Chain A
Amino acid sequence: MTALQEFRDSTRAWLEENCPPSMRTAMVPEEIVWGGRNAEFVNPESRLWLERMAAKGWTCPTWPAEYGGGGLSKDEAIILSQELARINARPALTSFGISMLGPVLLEYGSHEQKMEHIPKIVRGEIRWCQGYSEPGSGSDLASLKTRAELVGNHYVINGSKVWTSYADKADWIFCLVRTDFEVPKHAGISFILFDMASEGVSTKPIQLISGSSPFCETFFDDVRVPAGNLVGQLNDGWTIAKRLLQHERTMISSFGLASGQSDRGGTTSTVASVEGAAMHYRGDSGRLSDPVLRDRIAQFKIDSEAFALTSQRSVEESRLAQGPNATSSMLKYYGCELNKRRYELLLQAMGSQSLGWEGEGFEADELQVTREWLRSKANSIEGGTSEVQLNIVAKRVLGLPDMLGMVQKK
């Protein structure tokens, strides 16, 4: 028996023994485990599942064991994910520490920084938020103005961030700050970590068109941060920022991946698939009676399948290289546009039953579609707009001449 086969067998046996029964059912939004100092466990088995997975480092399977990660090879990690999928296991932990900060900290952080932060990410002890966008710096992120000035051995931070997801629930923030105002904008940015409990940090939630949201405005008023919390070189934060954005895009593009699958809130739901919903609300069986909608749904499903294959190919190709590559921009662009298309089609499929806001006359999953449709509009804005992704593809992948860059340098 090969070593990989042995790994598969022992993993399967361990999961059989250690994955609690309720963790083998479809995830419900209220029970997603984000971790952190004030972690909530609506379902007690979620805590047990997190503790067991974290003890093996399997919340972050490929991260080095030295920092608490699973230390698995890529092949082993694939086997683990296959075995988790086999029993329909829920993710033990969901966090921006895992999907965004951890990978860049492992790449650019000092040994001390890794020792301090990585194990806590793996165990879900600290919940992170992302301090990137500012009121005046959206697509032109590098124009950010939040300043950090060195006073003694502390940076003093002043400014504000916006669209900070879960800032009101997070324990720490990874933040882009300007440390030099005299140089071209990309060259004066640093990447710094600090505790959201620090004096001078405040947050205010933002309500979106879809209703409540995880987004916040975040304000920094003379926040003192130890100088050792700066990651990488002073004024070289843009390099880390871009790298982190690649990881973020990879995460967001998975929305598009999910949009091609018919499982949505359980297979029994009438809105589980666009075509299923279209037939249900028309009283059709066997064949969708509206030929125009049928053609559009078929086109959407074809693009979804093609996109899923492309994501899979990208994973296979990245096994040969290290980390995400420029195709993350393409995947982010396409995946987000696909998800928006899905919701527009779902609205057509469901007619007026997709347009309820609250109260009587609508099923819970119908009201959820309304909110999700509105929320999907942000997919092509957050993590870099679709237009910014196309700029990146044009410049970095296709090598087209950069007129915008000349403007940006100013």
Chain B
Amino acid sequence: MALVLSEDQQLLKDAARNFCQQNSPIAVLRRLRDEKNPRGYDEAIWKQMLELGWTGMAVPEAYGGFEFGYAGLGIVLEETGRTLVSSPLIASTLLSSTLVTIAGNEEQKTKLLPALVAGEILMCVALDERAQHQPQNIASTAQKEGDLYIINAEKTFVLDGHIADKLIVVARTSGAQTDRDGISLFLVDSSAEGVTITRTIMVDSRNSARVELSDVRVPREALLGEEGQGYAALEQVLDIARIGIAAEMLGSIESVFAAILEYLKQREQFGVLIGSFQALQHRAAIMYSEIELCRSVIRAAVNSLDDPECSVDERAKYASLAKAKLSEVFELVSNEGVQMHGGIGMTDEFDIGFYLKRARVAQQFLGDACFHRDRYATLNQF
């Protein structure tokens, strides 16, 4: 598998980078935060992202997409991470479109995918129920009653929950609370009776919500995939999304490290540039080494997404490898980013704090380093 970008991938990367730097610099996130923007993203910029085709890259042509592959989406996310772009690209495209593509039936795909690609609807996945990511630990229930399912659920840390038109709710139709079997996926309108969505303001200034479903009645057609067999598709999609998020984290890490290097080369103390201090040089060199490892991991993981020879299990290993490693390194680099900038790194005026805040949320999202090391061990049979 190639670990260097192909020419097409490089072109896409350059274009995405230019777009993010020019149209969605970090000042946009700062503005959204300061004005307490109710939607949490800039609709004009999102419209431009739609025009660039980013929502359709991984979607089959038959459903309005461009079939450029998931790798393309990973590459774009690496660039949006660089300037901390807040947009529905993760919840609607990376998670929801992928889940509909993989688990949906013909009718659901025909109905939903073109609308998602065109940005006519926004969606989200309501999965987590606790403070930690435990995708198999599902207490939410869906009871069958005649032709209907009655869903009761309490979900937290739902990305874009409060702006989504439709939710994909993970609920249990049978089995014990931590069984793989018995987990089902449901399409639920956010306006349906019994759905309560509360926005939660997170430290990274991105969207998140709590979602409660109280006796929400949905028809059989709302079932995404087979009843009780939703977990396999969900896990596959989570792995794709974990790799996408890890790619986004790489972009952010590289941004912080570039800022660190710049500062080490311009800040003077004791009459010399602080970058000449060996105590800082070695820490910078160690960070560089770790980031080089991250780059290789991301190239391998992103390219595995479209590799027909890569099995679901192998991709799971790449996903946990990537999410574990990038989570550790983002923690390291975001902390050093503040420390090496000294006092100015603690000020809100300076951007580095945005990355520190984003780092922790990204680390938790879809499983932190501990979760993925545990999973990696299990996948490797120990």
- In chain B, positions 192-247 with a C-beta closer than 8 Å to chain A are none
A302 contact from B288, B289, B376, Cβ within 8 A: B376
Asked if A299 and B373 sit within 8 Å, CB to CB, the answer is yes
CA distance A309 to B3 in the complex (A): 8
Instruction: Flag whether A152 is at the interface (Cβ < 8 A).
Output: no
Report B-chain residues with C-beta under 8 Å of the C-beta of A313. 3-4, 295-296, 299
- In chain A, positions 354-410 with a C-beta closer than 8 Å to chain B are 387, 389-391, 393-395, 397-404
26 contacts between A and B (CB under 8 A): A279-B382, A295-B373, A298-B373, A298-B377, A302-B373, A306-B296, A306-B325, A307-B293, A309-B3, A310-B292, A310-B293, A310-B295, A312-B296, A313-B296, A313-B299, A316-B2, A391-B285, A393-B285, A394-B285, A395-B281, A399-B265, A400-B275, A400-B276, A401-B272, A401-B273, A403-B276
Asked if B281 and A391 sit within 8 Å, CB to CB, the answer is yes
Instruction: Flag whether A317 is at the interface (Cβ < 8 A).
Output: yes
Asked if B281 and A394 sit within 8 Å, CB to CB, the answer is yes
A398 contact from B285, B299, B373, B374, Cβ within 8 A: B285
Asked if B3 and A316 sit within 8 Å, CB to CB, the answer is yes
- In the assembled complex, how far is the CB of residue B208 from the closest CB belonging to chain A, in whole angstroms? 28
CA distance A400 to B381 in the complex (A): 43
- In chain A, positions 257-303 with a C-beta closer than 8 Å to chain B are 275-276, 278-279, 286-288, 294-295, 297-299, 301-303
Chain B CB within 10 Å, residue with most, of A294, A306, A316: A306
Report B-chain residues with C-beta under 8 Å of the C-beta of A172. none
CA distance A312 to B328 in the complex (A): 22
- In the assembled complex, how far is the CB of residue B12 from the closest CB belonging to chain A, in whole angstroms? 19
- In chain B, positions 131-164 with a C-beta closer than 8 Å to chain A are none
B300 contact from A287, A309, A334, A398, Cβ within 8 A: A309
B289 contact from A317, A333, A402, A403, Cβ within 8 A: A333
CA distance A361 to B264 in the complex (A): 55
Report B-chain residues with C-beta under 8 Å of the C-beta of A398. 261, 281, 284-285, 288
CA distance A294 to B377 in the complex (A): 7
A278 touching B370 in the complex, CB below 8 Å, given contacts A303-B325, A306-B296, A398-B288 = no
Instruction: Flag whether B286 is at the interface (Cβ < 8 A).
Output: yes
| Interface of A (DSSP majority class) | helix
Report B-chain residues with C-beta under 8 Å of the C-beta of A305. 297, 321
Instruction: Flag whether A165 is at the interface (Cβ < 8 A).
Output: no
Instruction: Flag whether A330 is at the interface (Cβ < 8 A).
Output: yes
A334 touching B293 in the complex, CB below 8 Å, given contacts A275-B380, A400-B265 = yes
Asked if B382 and A391 sit within 8 Å, CB to CB, the answer is no
Report A-chain residues with C-beta under 8 Å of the C-beta of B276. 400-403
Report B-chain residues with C-beta under 8 Å of the C-beta of A306. 293-294, 296-297, 321, 325
Report B-chain residues with C-beta under 8 Å of the C-beta of A312. 3, 296
Q: Which residue of A lies closest to B294 (CB)?
A: A306
Asked if A302 and B285 sit within 8 Å, CB to CB, the answer is no
Report B-chain residues with C-beta under 8 Å of the C-beta of A404. 278
- In the assembled complex, how far is the CB of residue A305 from the closest CB belonging to chain B, in whole angstroms? 6
Report B-chain residues with C-beta under 8 Å of the C-beta of A302. 321, 324-325, 373, 376
CA distance A204 to B163 in the complex (A): 77
Report A-chain residues with C-beta under 8 Å of the C-beta of B272. 401, 403
Instruction: Flag whether A250 is at the interface (Cβ < 8 A).
Output: no
CA distance A333 to B287 in the complex (A): 12
A residues with a Cβ closer than 8 A to B are: 275-276, 278-279, 286-288, 294-295, 297-299, 301-303, 305-307, 309-310, 312-313, 316-317, 327, 330, 333-334, 387, 389-391, 393-395, 397-404
| Interface of B (DSSP majority class) | helix
* Total CB contacts across the A-B interface at under 8 A: 125
Asked if A298 and B376 sit within 8 Å, CB to CB, the answer is yes
B324-339 interface code vs A (CB 8 A; 1 in, 0 out): 1100100000000000
CA distance A295 to B373 in the complex (A): 6
Report A-chain residues with C-beta under 8 Å of the C-beta of B325. 302-303, 306
CA distance A316 to B286 in the complex (A): 23
Asked if A391 and B278 sit within 8 Å, CB to CB, the answer is yes
Asked if A390 and B382 sit within 8 Å, CB to CB, the answer is no
Asked if B4 and A334 sit within 8 Å, CB to CB, the answer is no
Report B-chain residues with C-beta under 8 Å of the C-beta of A297. 377, 382
Asked if A390 and B377 sit within 8 Å, CB to CB, the answer is no
- In the assembled complex, how far is the CB of residue A255 from the closest CB belonging to chain B, in whole angstroms? 16
Asked if B296 and A403 sit within 8 Å, CB to CB, the answer is no
B4 contact from A287, A317, A330, A391, Cβ within 8 A: A317
CA distance A333 to B285 in the complex (A): 10
Asked if A334 and B289 sit within 8 Å, CB to CB, the answer is yes
CA distance A179 to B284 in the complex (A): 37
CA distance A333 to B292 in the complex (A): 12
A294 touching B3 in the complex, CB below 8 Å, given contacts A398-B261, A401-B265, A401-B275 = no
CA distance A390 to B278 in the complex (A): 9
- In the assembled complex, how far is the CB of residue A325 from the closest CB belonging to chain B, in whole angstroms? 12
CA distance A370 to B294 in the complex (A): 32
Asked if A316 and B4 sit within 8 Å, CB to CB, the answer is yes
- In the assembled complex, how far is the CB of residue A284 from the closest CB belonging to chain B, in whole angstroms? 9
Q: Which residue of B lies closest to A307 (CB)?
A: B293
- In the assembled complex, how far is the CB of residue B11 from the closest CB belonging to chain A, in whole angstroms? 17
Q: Which residue of B lies closest to A389 (CB)?
A: B285
B1-14 interface code vs A (CB 8 A; 1 in, 0 out): 01110000000000
CA distance A404 to B281 in the complex (A): 11
- In the assembled complex, how far is the CB of residue B151 from the closest CB belonging to chain A, in whole angstroms? 35
CA distance A260 to B381 in the complex (A): 16
Report A-chain residues with C-beta under 8 Å of the C-beta of B265. 399-401
B297 contact from A298, A309, A400, Cβ within 8 A: A309
Asked if B281 and A400 sit within 8 Å, CB to CB, the answer is yes
- In chain B, positions 1-40 with a C-beta closer than 8 Å to chain A are 2-4
- In the assembled complex, how far is the CB of residue A338 from the closest CB belonging to chain B, in whole angstroms? 10
- In chain B, positions 323-382 with a C-beta closer than 8 Å to chain A are 324-325, 328, 370, 373-374, 376-378, 380-382
6 shortest interchain CB distances as A-B pairs? A394-B281, A403-B276, A275-B382, A393-B285, A309-B296, A313-B3
- In the assembled complex, how far is the CB of residue B327 from the closest CB belonging to chain A, in whole angstroms? 11
CA distance A302 to B319 in the complex (A): 11
Chain B CB within 10 Å, residue with most, of A279, A307, A330: A330
A303 touching B293 in the complex, CB below 8 Å, given contacts A287-B382, A397-B288, A400-B275 = yes
Q: Which residue of B lies closest to A276 (CB)?
A: B382
Known: A279-B382, A302-B321, A394-B281. 20 other contacts (CB 8 A): A275-B377, A288-B382, A295-B370, A295-B373, A298-B324, A298-B380, A302-B373, A302-B376, A306-B296, A309-B300, A310-B292, A316-B2, A330-B289, A333-B289, A391-B278, A391-B281, A393-B285, A395-B281, A397-B288, A400-B264
